[in-house]
Amino acid sequence: MPVKYITAATLAVMFMSSVQSQTAKTKDTVKNLTPVIVTGYKTVNGVGHLMEIKDGIIYAGKKTEIIVTDSLDANKAINNTRQLLGRIPGLNIVETETGGFTANGIATRGLNPIQSIEMNTRQNGYNVSADVYGYNEAYYLPPMEAVSRIELVRGAAALQFGAQFGGLVNYVVKDAPAGKSFEFTTSQTLGSFGLFNSFNSIGGHYKKLSYYSFIQYRNLDGYRPNSQQWQLSGFGRLQYNATPRLNVGVEYSLLRNQVKMPGGLTDSLFNISSKISTRSRNWLKSPWNIIAAYANYNPHPNTTLSLKTTYLFSSRSLVWRNEDGGPAAADDIDPATNAFVPREVGNENMNSSTTEFRFSHNYKLGKNLSTIAGGARFAYAWFKRQGGGEGTTGSDFDLSINGDWGYNLDFTTTNLAPFVENIFRAGNKLTITPGLRFEYINSTAKGYKIVDTYKLSPDESRNRYFPLAGIGVEYKAAANTSLYGNISQAYRPIDYSQLEPFGVAAIIDPNLKDARGFNSDLGYRGIIKNYFNFDVSVFYLAYNNRIGEVVKTDAGGNDYAYRTNTGNSVHKGIESYTEFNLLKYIHPTSKYGLSIFNSFAYIDASYTSGEFKGNRVETANKIINRAGVNFCTRQFSSTFQVNYTGDAYGDASNLKASDNPVGGYIPAYTVLDFSATCKIDNYILKAGINNIAGASYFTRRTDEYPGPGIIPSIGRSFYIGFTAKF
């Protein structure tokens, strides 16, 4: 049943319809829908949601979102997260990818967005962070030109994917083009501040083999002085389709980069100009390698089996001016030595392996079809952290050190986690989905650390066992609308960076505790015909023993950052996405689309116990509102978007100003973006303006790289690009 135009909302209908076809009151058969081939542009660029069960994973009763990236007008050359993921209600974005770091961080519901540490970050269903629990920071993401869709599951994802409070974000790389033995795509983009991005991919099918591969190169001079960067990323997949029921494949992802870090700013410097740079000798590189192998087998129409195993071997190195004194300390030549002070060198090596087995099975329970889905994850990670080495007095990227490391530590994490969920259906409208997960974690630490004149040699091993439980309910109020609710426990163990931070001026509480809590949602979502798409919900998140930073004052009257369990917090609020296609409402068969969308969240995140009871949680914005207009025809599409993010605080003390770089106010800001796409046969022209009004703002205060201090976001920028497909 080929179709020429299809909306994201229609995709959601197809997802739900395919499930309904399986859950209809049949005797012993499963009805399969006729395949649908998408051959044109989407006339609504909205947010859909995942089907009840997909690829052996249960999503019934959970708050989910799915974004088809090719339907978006966005600056994909620099992974502009505002445009790509901005329609996710309540998504807080740390914009550091063009300001001295490798990837933007995201979070939901007032959680910490720095390097996406509260999220379970995946590519094609497997982890791409260094370690599932010990070091789950995201340094690598696939280029958005290679991504077909982005899937998000809120806190209820803890049962199927792991115990992170923020939930899951999964970047799904494009497949081999259907019906072609070979296809070549090239995309070239130029932009402000020396942006040059080249993306090239090939893919196709040969007999039972399918393949897809891309390579991307990006160079950027940077918005601020001393922020030059380049990166090379690549990906390859080879899949063997042995039978219609069995396929096996292997994937390899890589990242190579070199980033110059311009340093952080004090409030006074930022108020003078957001383009000031305080450092000219800070460098970072983070080569990333991930090998993945998988097998998918459907022994019966009602049964699926899958196995994924990955091996990650990566590293991160930096050389920077020792940050004693914070951003106010000048990095000048010492008149006494006629040279700069020696820099500090740090290095990390990361090796991890993760294997996940999953199964699902449909079975009759009374007159209804139920579904059980479960599996197990086994992960092992080894992590070496070296730092405090005295580097050179030069300015180039030189990682050589004089003498020994200030600390040289080895960490390991072993994780075993079986899990199971079951969809119980009561008729065709109601589903009840309870679930259980059990986590075992073993963490070890060995090596040495020099404190003052003492050499400390930790030799520690710690075991943790904890169960997670949850339940989701969904009621189909109509054919294409449903009410949903869920509650799931969550857990976040202490990670390496919290115990032994890398390039951080903060003092660490030696008695840190793991964080525990739960997530819950209650919402109503659906579509009305082909012109209105909505998902409105309320949420409640309890986060106990949260780890944060507070500003304290020493005996000499100097402020310093202290990382500790800051107390229990509660995050509650409203998340709403609505999209209305005016032209489709007036004329349902119109070949044109004019849609108005709004992504709104109100987040009340505050401490309920501890020293800071009543204070707002750090980095938690009360209001995040993004609204826009999209117009599209068969060949043309354009989107104008307004992004408003409310104010926040850098630490739990809620200080308006502090001598310490992490403490202080993060003002609200509004950013305007416009992008347009024109398609003519197999050629695409794209152009846009980001931050149209040239707003001066920042999203992060930090006591570590690429700071310390305020990390300004990029100002007004332009881009233009060309894509061809052969």
pLDDT 10s digits, 459-490: 888 898 989 999 999 999 998 999 999 999 99
Are residues 9 and 527 in contact, defined by beta-carbon separation less than 8 angstroms? Answer: yes
What value does the mean pLDDT take over residues 429-443?
A: 95
Residue 504 has pLDDT above 70, yes or no: no
pLDDT at 601: 98
What value does the mean pLDDT take over residues 607-618?
A: 92
The domain limits of the chain are 8-725
Q: 108-112, 162-166, 330-334 — which one is most confidently predicted on average?
A: 108-112
Length of the chain: 726
| The residue type at 661 | P
Q: 104 falls in which pLDDT band (50, 70, 90)? A: confident
| pTM, to two decimals | 0.91
What value does the mean pLDDT take over residues 267-289?
A: 92
Task: Say how far apart CA 495 and CA 628 lie, in whole Å.
Answer: 39
Q: What percent of the chain has pLDDT over 70?
A: 91
pLDDT at 133: 85
Are residues 588 and 530 in contact, defined by beta-carbon separation less than 8 angstroms? Answer: yes
Higher pLDDT, 265 or 507: 265
- Other Cβ atoms closer than 10 A to 396: 8
pLDDT digits (tens, 9 = 90+) for 359-413: 999 999 989 999 999 999 999 999 999 988 999 999 999 999 999 998 999 999 9
3-state secondary structure of 682: coil
Task: Say how far apart CA 78 and CA 92 lie, in whole Å.
Answer: 18
Task: Say how far apart CA 193 and CA 97 lie, in whole Å.
Answer: 14
227-230 long-range contacts, CB within 8 A, separation 24+: 227/98, 227/99, 227/100, 227/260, 227/261, 227/262, 227/277, 228/194, 228/260, 229/98, 229/257, 229/258, 229/259, 229/260, 230/257, 230/258
Q: 499 falls in which pLDDT band (50, 70, 90)? A: low
Nearest CA to 705 out of 518, 522, 519, 497 is that of 497
CATH homologous superfamily, domain 8-725: TonB-dependent receptor, beta-barrel domain (2.40.170.20)
Are residues 560 and 505 in contact, defined by beta-carbon separation less than 8 angstroms? Answer: yes
Residue 607 has pLDDT above 90, yes or no: yes
Residue 109 has pLDDT above 90, yes or no: yes
Q: Which of 50-59, 248-257, 320-329, 643-652 has the lowest mean pLDDT?
A: 320-329
**pLDDT, averaged across the chain:** 88
* Token pair of 288 as six digits: 């990333």
Q: What percent of the chain has pLDDT over 90?
A: 67
Residue 240: is it exposed, middle or buried by C-beta count within 10 angstroms (0-12/13-18/19+)? middle
Nearest CA to 56 out of 360, 425, 376 is that of 360
Residue 1 has pLDDT above 80, yes or no: no
Q: 75 falls in which pLDDT band (50, 70, 90)? A: very high
Q: In what order do the strands lie in the sheet with 168-173?
A: 64-68, 147-153, 168-173, 120-123, 126-127
3-state secondary structure of 571: strand
Task: Say how far apart CA 111 and CA 562 lie, in whole Å.
Answer: 19
Are residues 74 and 687 in contact, defined by beta-carbon separation less than 8 angstroms? Answer: no
pLDDT at 25: 41
Are residues 323 and 329 in contact, defined by beta-carbon separation less than 8 angstroms? Answer: yes
Higher pLDDT, 197 or 136: 197
pLDDT digits (tens, 9 = 90+) for 515-573: 999 999 999 999 998 899 999 999 999 999 988 777 777 777 777 777 788 889 999 99
Are residues 559 and 551 in contact, defined by beta-carbon separation less than 8 angstroms? Answer: yes
DSSP secondary structure letters along 303-351: EEEEEEEEEEEEEEEEEEE--TTGGGS----BTTTTBPPPEEEEEEEEE
3-state secondary structure of 270: helix
pLDDT at 45: 53
Among left, alpha and beta (phi > 0; psi -120 to 50; other), residue 328 is: alpha
Q: 12 falls in which pLDDT band (50, 70, 90)? A: very low
pLDDT at 11: 44
pLDDT digits (tens, 9 = 90+) for 51-70: 999 988 999 999 999 999 98
Nearest CA to 71 out of 7, 10, 164 is that of 7
Task: Say how far apart CA 31 and CA 371 lie, in whole Å.
Answer: 16
Task: Say how far apart CA 51 and CA 482 lie, in whole Å.
Answer: 12
pLDDT digits (tens, 9 = 90+) for 340-361: 989 999 999 999 999 999 999 9
3-state secondary structure of 422: strand
Q: 42 falls in which pLDDT band (50, 70, 90)? A: very low
Residue 153 has pLDDT above 90, yes or no: yes
Task: Say how far apart CA 406 and CA 388 lie, in whole Å.
Answer: 4
What value does the mean pLDDT take over residues 283-309?
A: 95
Phi/psi of residue 478, nearest 5 degrees: -150, -175
pLDDT digits (tens, 9 = 90+) for 196-251: 999 999 999 999 999 999 999 999 999 999 999 999 999 999 999 999 999 999 99
3-state secondary structure of 510: coil
DSSP secondary structure letters along 27-88: SS--PPPPP--B-S--S----B---SEETTEE-TTS-EEEEEGGG----GGGT-HHHHHTTS
For residue 212, the cross-strand partners are 203, 237
